Amino acid sequence: MKKLSLIIILLAGFGFGAKAQHDPSDQILSTNWDVIGSVDFKTVKETEMYAIFGNEIKKYANKPFELEGYIVPIKDGMKQTKFMLSTLPINQCFYCGKNGVPIMVQVELKEPIKFTYQTVKIKGTLKLSTANAMDNPPISLVGGKAL
């Protein structure tokens, strides 16, 4: 849980649109990632931050949604069912090595997939959380499967 909290704090602290120096050919760009990146945050106090969801992302809430990205594990292990999905590879993440914080969502799969440094395509139900973003990921794909 501490790793997840760190990820959320970093996401909240730097925002989804953090600028970074990276290999542009590695970054995943898509209309669906643009939808995810449209979320803003409101800081209430040092320990409270809330996602502000615009109409663009709200129209996808609780519906099937597909993303391609890189696995950022939350827990150790070669098989993953719950992880963060990123627009940049793990070796280009701020907290994992170098550069800024990429756009990320939490993924919860029905069946585990093997960790890979290559991109994966995931389809699941898009969930938006209005809870404190310092404690809970504001955006997730649940009940997902790897394509």
Tokens of 98: 């170098």
- Tell me the pTM: 0.77
Residue with tokens 């990205």: 69
Distances in whole angstroms, Cα of residue 115 to Cα of each of 55, 70, 118 = 34, 9, 9
| Full set of structural domains in the chain with CATH | 2-146 (2.40.50)
Each residue's pLDDT expressed in tens, for the chain with a length of 147 residues: 444 444 444 444 334 444 445 566 677 888 999 999 999 989 999 999 999 999 999 999 999 999 999 999 999 999 999 999 998 886 655 444 444 445 789 999 999 999 999 999 999 999 999 999 988 899 999 999 999
Q: What distance in Å separates the CA atoms of residue 94 and residue 29, rounded to the nearest whole number?
A: 19
Classify burial at 62, counting beta carbons within 10 Å of its beta carbon; exposed 0-12, middle 13-18, buried 19 or more: exposed
Residue with tokens 């701020």: 94
Q: Are 143 and 125 in contact (CB under 8 A)?
A: yes
Q: What distance in Å separates the CA atoms of residue 82 and residue 71, rounded to the nearest whole number?
A: 10
